[in-house]
Structure 1
Amino acid sequence: MARLNQIIAVEKGVKSRTQRELTDACHELQKPALLTGISRTYRPRDEEGETLPPESTKVKVKAENVLREAARSLTRLFDVVATKDWANCAARADVVVDGRTILSDVPVTYLLFLEKQLGDLHTLIDRLPVLDAAETWTFDEGQDVWRSEPVETARTKKVPRSHVLYEATDKHPAQVEMYHEDVVVGTWTKVSFSGAMPARRVNELRDRVERLQAAVKYAREEANSIEVTDRKVGDAVFAYLLGRDD
């Protein structure tokens, strides 16, 4: 069983590391190129047509994975600070959302900390990328990304043509004008991939964190607040926050 001073000694390092990881996560989500992938295949119009290799880029960052990594990092921080605050405080209150108790007997000092962390998490959720509403998306279980409906576009090639301006006579040769005509020679089929999230999912997460923030504020107002007992609360918080309503 750890002592309170030992928990305090490690708290600062855990806080710094968690903040750094959350900052990196926010930066990753601001790089659309990392969240986007495509797959293009080419089919010539006829057997004599030119063949071209397929083109593809993979999704490097997936919003759900960023959330899970943020949850993993914050879970450790939540648990360390909880252990300290449970030992420091006598005043406690329950965090209740829509009649459901998420956390029980929470010290007021931890409620203050949780209020700040949920604000940072709200910022992360506000920055989550949303799937382009102009596309129709389906979830690709095999690649663990969203994919669009295939879109076909024609590939054209300039073919030289000639046009007789003046026919030949016994005195002058024919006058011929050369020009190029765009001729369809094949079809590109493009499928877009994305690590972004459906707008409904982002709105659901935002609603959950806002309801939890309100509950924490209410609990803080209700609460008034030494070998320590290790506390494990992070799993419960993120089981709720990252849960799904569907």
Structure 2
Amino acid sequence: MSTKLNQIIAVEKGVKAKAHQDLATAHHGLQKAPLLAGIARTYQPKDEEGEQLPPESTRVQVRAEDVLKQTATSLTRLFDVTATKDWANCEARADVTVDGQVLIGRAPVSYLLFLEKQLTDLAALVRKLPVLDAAESWTQDPSTDDWRTEPVRTVRTKKVPRNHVKAEATEKHPAQVEVYYEDVPVGYWTTVKFSGALPARRVSQLLDRVEKVQQAVKFAREEANASEVTDQRAGDPIFGYLFG
């Protein structure tokens, strides 16, 4: 039965964790000197009437050579799995296709992973693009590439004091006059607003394109990872030389 790259990737993490745990266990075991030591002793009394004592012995519980063999067995699996994945990654390739158009042909897995990360960052940027105020009507100014509104004319007024005679003057009393202010037009403002933001439809279009490419890259990665692999045997020659 053939093995696929995605199956190797699925087991790699577990194999790596077990190998690191076995290596740590071996390292700690070799630091415990009493486990590597053994002894056997017998007692003989000075004469026949002397006290008889039973023999004493302690077995060696950890043998360095055995630890090396166990370590080699554990790490050989890790070396083989990693080699199989890395060799396969050199061969596993797939096209990035959007709407029937091949954007990138035969992209390797490592590059597809790079693209996924970059497109995630790019999508975050697009989502934060400023959008033109929907309350205004905007057109693009060909001379500046800015967006602009139609000119809006508004009146500039100035408060001018006026007198309101509440009571006319008499021989005994002066006139009663109240001062009030009247807004009198004195000029006109013509206002045009400019903006470097984007229309909402443009932002939506950009985001849609980024998401399409993201999906295409994910599909390509899955396709590449479904490639059949050739099992590599890197561990045996390495440990055959190291511990042989």
Give the TM-score category using the shorter length.
0.5 to 0.7
Deviation at 1:197, TM superposition (A): 0.7
Aligned to 2:36: none
Number of the residue aligned with 2:232: none
Q: Shift of residue 187 of structure 1? A: 1.3
Q: Unmatched 5+ residue regions in structure 1?
A: 1-84, 226-246
- Deviation track 1:39-85 (CA, whole Å, cap 9, x = no partner) reads xxxxxxxxxxxxxxxxxxxxxxxxxxxxxxxxxxxxxxxxxxxxxx9
Higher RCO (CA < 8 A, seq sep 6+): 1
* Residue identity opposite 2:211 in structure 1: E
Is contact 1:94–1:104 with CA below 8 Å preserved after alignment?
yes
State how far apart, in whole Å, the 2-side matches of 1:154 and 1:217 are. 59
Residue aligned with 1:89, SS: helix
- Take 2:224 and 2:170, find their aligned partners in 1: how far apart are those partners? 107
Give the distance between the partners of 2:215 and 2:138, measured in 1 at CA: 34
Q: Which residue of 1 aligns with 2:77?
A: none
Residue 220 of structure 1 deviates from its aligned partner by 0.2
The within-5 A match list for 1:1-246 is 89-224=90-225
| Runs of 4+ residues deviating >2 angstroms | none
TM-score normalized by structure 2? Answer: 0.55
What is the rounded CA distance, in whole Å, between the counterparts of 1:173 and 1:217 in structure 2? Answer: 92
RMSD (CA atoms): 1.5
Aligned to 1:18: none
Structure 2 distance, partners of 1:215, 1:113, is 14
Count of equivalent residues? 139
SS in 1 for 2:193: strand
Q: Supply the distance in 2 between the matched residues of 1:202 and 1:176 (Cα, whole angstroms).
A: 63
Q: Deviations over 1:10-43 (max 9, x none)?
A: xxxxxxxxxxxxxxxxxxxxxxxxxxxxxxxxxx
Unaligned runs of 5+ in 2: 1-85, 228-244
Secondary structure of the corresponding residue to residue 223 of structure 1: helix
Q: Which amino acid in 2 is paired with 1:208?
A: R
What is the distance in 2 between the residues matched to 1:130 and 1:173?
64
Conserved? CA contact 1:135–1:149, under 8 Å: no
Give the drift of 1:125: 0.4
Q: CA deviation at 1:170?
A: 1.8
Q: Which amino acid aligns with 2:91?
A: A
Structure 1: distance between partners of 2:139 and 2:204: 19
1:163 partner SS:
strand
Normalised TM-score (structure 1): 0.54
| Aligned-partner residue type, residue 175 of structure 2 | A
